[in-house]
Amino acid sequence: MSVPPPAHPVVLEGRRRWFALVALALGVAMIILDATVVNVAIPTMVKDLNLTTNDAEWVTAAYSLVFASLLILAGRTADRFGRRFLFIIGIVVFVAASVLVALSGSSAEIIGARALQGVGAALMLPSSLSIINAVFVGKARAAAFAVWGATIGGMAALGPLVGGWLTTYASWHWAFLINLPIGIVVLIGVFVFVPETKDTNPTPGADPTGIALSTLGLLGVVFALIEGQRYGWIMSTAPFEVFGFTWSGGLSPAFVSLVIGIVLLVVLVQVERSRLAAGKGVIFDLNLFKIRSFGAGNAVALIVSLGEFGLLFALPLFLQSVRGYSALDTGVILLALALGSFAASGAGAGLAQRIGPVRVLQIGMGCEVLGIVGLGIVISTSVTGWGLAPWLFLYGMGVGFATAQLTGVILSETPVAKSGQASAMQSTARQVGAAIGTAILGTTLLVGIGANVSAQLEDSGVPTAAADQVTQAVQSSAGTVIPSLADQPGGDVLVASASEGFAQATTWVAWVAAALVFLGLLTTFLLPANAARVESEGYAPPGGE
């Protein structure tokens, strides 16, 4: 009977492992930063490049769609051909695409470059996590996951600050060109400090059918979740235009995309089961879901992502449209969340050693719920950044605790040889969850605006016809039209009523986000209590602890 290879054939020790971690964390920071910076830079890009509203929306959507749809393929490729190798390719692609975005002079160029950025990001994210899983052990591994998790949480909050500062004091071009020097530093760090790891005994045979089904299936589902609000969830509410093709009337393209995506993913499961039974290579090993910590952990990741960052969608709109803060001011306020996330990363690893990672995960998610509820209570037309900061800090601490520990729990008992696949699946679960959450919370915001702004206007004596017109304008602009209402007859009343209604709608978003995170907290009780305290060389017994 052959002896299985050690779980960690390559282990980093001493200072080298921390230099390696810094390089990997910087790479992840670029990905997350770029996903949030663009939201602040878009208005300036629209003016400079004469982008249409449709163009502007695709600048964001192209990145998200490509990123989410390629994660599973990237994870499997990393296991097979080398995680460090794929991470390096991802850096080169991402940095080159960032430069192309900055140099773009038309909508087609910038959308194409953003899609290419999504390719680079998809190659980097699961590779970075699988490298950490493969070369760190024990307490160092817990600390590395904490840094990785804090980087994601912190950069999501720092993005608006960096984007606001660069857009205000330099130009939107630098929001992307900044990736060039960072990418060079990351490349040097990876070449010098990060060792190569891969699956040394892969199942032979490629899986082109699985590649096509997983990529196209995820693309269909994520497109529907991102674009359903714009084009209609079932019937078309707006024309869909891409590459000169126009879809208008009848079933919504988002609905058709969702149905096709789900069908393809169902077929994928059947194809992968057949290939596994035949001993052939697969794009994703479904046996990983027999590991309780992996299966339940991914369920937690998907559910908690529904509400974890949803408030960051509505809060900047509220701060700028209702409270009158600039993009830079908004970024400074949200810095409290990043500080909380980074603070939690320092305490989380040690706390997990004493009470267990699952308990720290639950504490973190509890802090998130309390922070979001606190924000929902204090949000008003008169709240200041100082009034929001304590709750944002608590929210950020929860994100810092939860993200790091959940990542460790999910990967704790998966074979290191399959780290790329496992890392990609948990990243995919988070991305799909975030897309669903954005759809839910975006709809909540629009419904809340419709109900509350209209009610406030009518209570202030504004005629019904005028109230409906103002409400529709606030909805369609996501609140950005509110300051300009002051120029209309009775402007003070319009601004006050619309601001109050928008604040109430933002509170609705907070309640729904808190409920979704609380649902994720309840799901954590499906996890084995000792997950991530041991490192397994193979699969854990199905359902075992």
Structural domain spans, the chain: 11-202, 204-281
pTM above 0.95, yes or no: no
pLDDT in tens, 510-539: 999 999 999 999 999 988 876 554 443 333
Q: What is the mean pLDDT of residues 72-85?
A: 88
* Residue type at 139 in one-letter notation: K
Q: Which of 44-48, 183-187, 370-374, 481-485 comes out lowest in average pLDDT?
A: 44-48
CB within 8 Å of 32: residues ≥ 6 apart: 151, 152, 155, 156, 159
Which 3 state secondary structure label does DSSP give 242? strand
Beta-sheet pairing, 245-247 with 240-242: antiparallel
Q: Does 311 score more than 80 pLDDT?
A: no
By percentage, how much of the chain surpasses pLDDT 90? 25
Residue scoring higher pLDDT (537 or 236): 236
**Which tokens go with 306?**
């529904």
CATH architecture of 11-202: Up-down Bundle (1.20)
By percentage, how much of the chain surpasses pLDDT 70? 92
Distance of alpha carbon 259 from alpha carbon 267, whole angstroms: 12
Q: What is the number of helices (H) and of strands (E) in the chain?
A: 17, 2
Neighbouring C-alpha atoms within 13 Å toward the C-beta of 298:
21
Residue 528 confidence (pLDDT): 83
Q: Does 246 score more than 50 pLDDT?
A: yes
CB within 8 Å of 205: residues ≥ 6 apart: 275, 280, 281
pLDDT in tens, 362-406: 999 999 999 999 999 999 999 998 999 999 999 989 988 888 788
Residue 189 confidence (pLDDT): 93
* Residue type at 99 in one-letter notation: V
The per-residue pLDDT of the chain, averaged, comes to 84
**Which tokens go with 36?**
């949030």
* Residue type at 451 in one-letter notation: A
Q: What is the mean pLDDT of residues 296-314?
A: 84
Q: What is the mean pLDDT of residues 302-306?
A: 87
Residue 122 confidence (pLDDT): 92
Closest CA to 40 of 170, 174, 161, 151: 161
Residue 5 confidence (pLDDT): 40
Contact 504, 379 (CB under 8 A): no
Residue scoring higher pLDDT (43 or 121): 121
Q: Does 237 score more than 50 pLDDT?
A: yes
* Residue type at 289 in one-letter notation: F
pLDDT in tens, 81-114: 889 999 999 999 999 999 999 998 888 889 899 9
Residue 240 parent element (H or E): strand 240-242
Q: Does 4 score more than 60 pLDDT?
A: no
Which 3 state secondary structure label does DSSP give 172? coil
- Rounded to the nearest angstrom, the gap between the alpha carbon of residue 247 and the centroid of all alpha carbons in its chain is 29
Q: Name the DSSP letter for residue 235.
A: B
Which residue's structure tokens are 């149905």? 259
Residue 333 has a CB neighbour count (10 Å cut-off) of 23
Residue 539 confidence (pLDDT): 37
**Which tokens go with 390?**
């304590």
